[in-house]
Structure 1
Amino acid sequence: MSPCEIALINLLNQMALKTFPGLTMAIGKGDKIIWQHGAGYADAKNKIKNKSEMIFGIGSITKIFVAVLILQLNEENYLTLDEPISTWLDKNVLADVANAESVTVRHLLSHYSGIPSWEDQHSWIHDARGKRVKPEKIWLPQENLDYIRGKKPLCAPGEAFHYSNSNFTLLGLLIEKLTSNSLEEELYKRIINPLLLKSTSLESVASLENQYSSKRFHRLDPHFIKKAGVSDYFKIEPNNILDVSAINLSVEWAAGGIVSTAQDVVNFILALKNGELLNPKSMKEMQQWMPADNAEMGLSLFRMDTDYGTAIGHGGNVLGASACVWWYEKTNCALAILTNVGSMHASPDAHCASTMFKNAEVGKLAQEICSYY
């Protein structure tokens, strides 16, 4: 085992001990997984150790999967990127959604739609992640849109970047409208089955019962208490975390409802990077970069400078999980980090997979490991 592999194992184990109950990481080079490790516990109370095959929520990494479906449908002439979505979606779906009549598929994919995000609405936060959570509830996609109906637009379409989960609810509905299949069916048909992603699914009751599904936790701090409140179904655990394992991710759907393993996520991002899922024209479209806060945004891909090189990918953060996946632009290296702790609505500095990627040396060590293979 190389010194950089030992150093990365030690780093992950320390992070699990101090910061996360459990986390997994996988590294890919070329078209293969070359390294993976599970640290900490999937269920500390029952002494169930975390393994590399453990399943976690991947949050907004789901958006890359959905973007691939949309771009495939564009390649097959089901849609065009610069037509308004009102061309295809029914008026009752779009009723009272800001900019809905004029916003295009490209605007949605790039978060330049100006449509408010349901995730930012106080009532939604209370209902879906906080004090009014009902674990048995299976959310329907259009329910989320009800939280933004009648809200003012954040800007005109194409004018500015505003990250919005509402964009991907609309894209998921568009996929179902055009294909006459469920979003889950299209994910299996076009991505999950062709790539043999055996541990990846859009969350359902069945996936919750998988023996490899980790327990779910969330950061508990004054920010979360003020914004979301604490449901009676959540259990307060040591180290200021909540056990939120009672919940399901149906509310996230096309914006963040996929569960997976670090290995599957890396295999997916390598397939995308290597042109196995989209043609060259679509890949070029996907990487037309525009300003996006402290980074750049393509069609559901972020591009940002890090201490260890420019990286392309996406982070994810939902109730009970956080994750990120990145490939380095100038080295043949990709990585994914998945954890069983979410930090949405907690302090901006609360630990999650993305803060770990930005602040720790995982990127440096991952690229050093790639250089050995």
Structure 2
Amino acid sequence: MTASADQLSKLLDEKTRKDFPAISVAIGRADRLIWQYAAGYADLSNRLTNSADTAFGIGSITKVFVAVILLQLSEERQITLDDPLSAWLEPAQLAGIANARVVTIRQLLSHYAGIPSWEDQPGWIHVARGKDSVADKVWRPDEALEYIHGKPALALPDEKFYYSNSSFTLLGMLIERFTGNTLEQALNQRIFRPLSLKQTRLEGYPLSDRHNDATRYHRADAHFIQHAGIAGCFTPERAAMINVSAASLSVEWAAGGMISTAGELMRFCLALKNGALVNPQSLREMQRWRPAGEAQIGLSLFRTDSAFGPAIGHGGNVLGYSACAWWFRETDCALVILTNLGSMHAAAEADCASRLFSNPAIVRLAHEICEGG
């Protein structure tokens, strides 16, 4: 083990002793996995050690998989990115959803559709992640959209960036309508099987597939209690931390419902950046940047600045998990971080994978490991 790898291992071990139940990290460069490490416990109560085979929710990184399928369909000339959503979904499926009849696939992929996000609706938060959650409920793919029916548009299409999970629920429905397959089947056919992603799946179909999953914990600080609340099916774990494994990520579906391991998510990232999943033109389309708050957005990919140049990728944060997957264009280093601690609806400074990614020491050591690999 190199000195940098030893330092990063110790840093991750320290983080799991203090703040996180488990952290899995994968580092890659060019077309290969360079290094991976699993720290902490996949299950705290049973002292089940985290391992390279432990699976975690990847949250909104799911959106990048959805985008890949749509770019592939565009390459096959079965759709165009500027098709209106209404060309593929029935009026009844779009009824009551602001802007849904006029937005294009491109606008949905870039969060420039102006469609409200179900994730921002108090009723959805209570039922899906909070006090009214029901154990083992499997949500219908379109069920979350009920929480934005009748809500006003946030902006005109193409006018302004508003991050919207609703857009990706609609894109998942489009994929199912167009291909005649479930989204899970489309993911299997087009991404999971070609890349041999054997532990990667879309949660909810069925729930019995959880045998390698890390137990799900969530930060339950005062902010979370106020905005989400604690369901009877959630159980206390540590101070300000609850076990939320009774809930299902099927509620997130195409917007954030996937499960994977650090190694398999790294395989996907390397395949995407190297052009193994989409052609060069599609990859350029995914990286046509527009303003997105403090970052920039392409088609389901974000671009942010770092000490090592532009970083391209996505983060994820759902009930019980947080994740990030980024590659650095100038150094060709890629970094995946998965944890079984979610922080959505908790205070902004709550621990999550993205806070680990923003730790300069972690990114520096990852690059040193890349250079040594």
Matches within 5 A, 1:266-277: 266-277=266-277
Aligned partner of residue 315 in structure 2, secondary structure: strand
Which runs of 5 or more residues in structure 2 are unaligned?
Answer: none
Matches within 5 A, 1:237-256: 237-256=237-256
Q: For each residue in 1:261-303, what CA deviation from the matched residue of structure 2 results, as whole angstroms up to 9, or x when unmatched? A: 0000000000000000001111110000000011000000000
Q: For each residue in 1:207-247, what CA deviation from the matched residue of structure 2 results, as whole angstroms up to 9, or x when unmatched? A: 65443211100001111011101000001111310100111
Aligned partner of residue 268 in structure 1, secondary structure: helix
Aligned partner of residue 197 in structure 1, secondary structure: coil
Q: Distance in 1 between matches of 2:20 and 2:145?
A: 33
Counterpart for residue 111 of structure 2: 111
Q: CA deviation at 1:359?
A: 2.6
Give the root-mean-square deviation of aligned CA atoms. Answer: 1.0
Aligned partner of residue 141 in structure 1, secondary structure: coil
Q: Distance in 2 between matches of 1:56 and 1:238?
A: 20
Distance 1:335 1:12, change over 3 A: same
Counterpart for residue 35 of structure 2: 35
Aligned partner of residue 211 in structure 2, secondary structure: coil
Contact 2:70/2:175 (8 A) holds in 1: yes
Counterpart for residue 218 of structure 1: 218
Aligned partner of residue 33 in structure 1, secondary structure: strand
Counterpart for residue 344 of structure 1: 344
Counterpart for residue 355 of structure 1: 355
Aligned partner of residue 58 in structure 1, secondary structure: strand
Q: CA deviation at 1:360?
A: 4.2
Q: Is 2:277 the counterpart of 1:294?
A: no
Counterpart for residue 48 of structure 1: 48
Contact 1:208/1:248 (8 A) holds in 2: no
Q: For each residue in 1:4-41, what CA deviation from the matched residue of structure 2 results, as whole angstroms up to 9, or x when unmatched? A: 10111011111111110111000111111110000010
TM-score normalized by structure 1?
0.98
Q: Which amino acid aligns with 1:247?
A: A
Q: CA deviation at 1:202?
A: 0.5
Q: Distance in 1 between matches of 2:157 and 2:361?
A: 38
In percent, how many aligned pairs have the same letter?
A: 54
Q: Is 2:112 the counterpart of 1:144?
A: no
Counterpart for residue 66 of structure 2: 66
Q: For each residue in 1:51-107, what CA deviation from the matched residue of structure 2 results, as whole angstroms up to 9, or x when unmatched? A: 121001000000000000011011112211112111111001100100011100000
Counterpart for residue 170 of structure 1: 170
Which runs of 5 or more residues in structure 1 are unaligned?
Answer: none
Q: Distance in 2 between matches of 1:83 and 1:45?
A: 50
Q: Distance in 2 between matches of 1:239 and 1:309?
A: 38
Q: Distance in 1 between matches of 2:346 and 2:36?
A: 29
Matches within 5 A, 1:72-221: 72-204=72-204, 206=206, 208-221=208-221
Aligned partner of residue 133 in structure 2, secondary structure: coil
Contact 2:42/2:215 (8 A) holds in 1: yes
TM-score normalized by structure 2?
0.98
Q: Distance in 1 between matches of 2:205 and 2:23?
A: 23
Q: Which amino acid aligns with 1:258?
A: M
Q: CA deviation at 1:206?
A: 4.2
Q: Distance in 2 between matches of 1:203 and 1:338?
A: 16
Q: Distance in 1 between matches of 2:85 and 2:256?
A: 21
Q: CA deviation at 1:134?
A: 0.8
**200-209 or 1-10: bigger deviation:** 200-209
Counterpart for residue 332 of structure 1: 332
Q: Distance in 2 between matches of 1:35 and 1:365?
A: 11
Aligned length: 373
Q: Distance in 2 between matches of 1:208 and 1:221?
A: 30
Q: For each residue in 1:185-219, what CA deviation from the matched residue of structure 2 results, as whole angstroms up to 9, or x when unmatched? A: 00000000000011100013546544321110000
Q: Which amino acid aligns with 2:158?
A: G
Contact 2:62/2:257 (8 A) holds in 1: yes
**259-268 or 353-362: bigger deviation:** 353-362
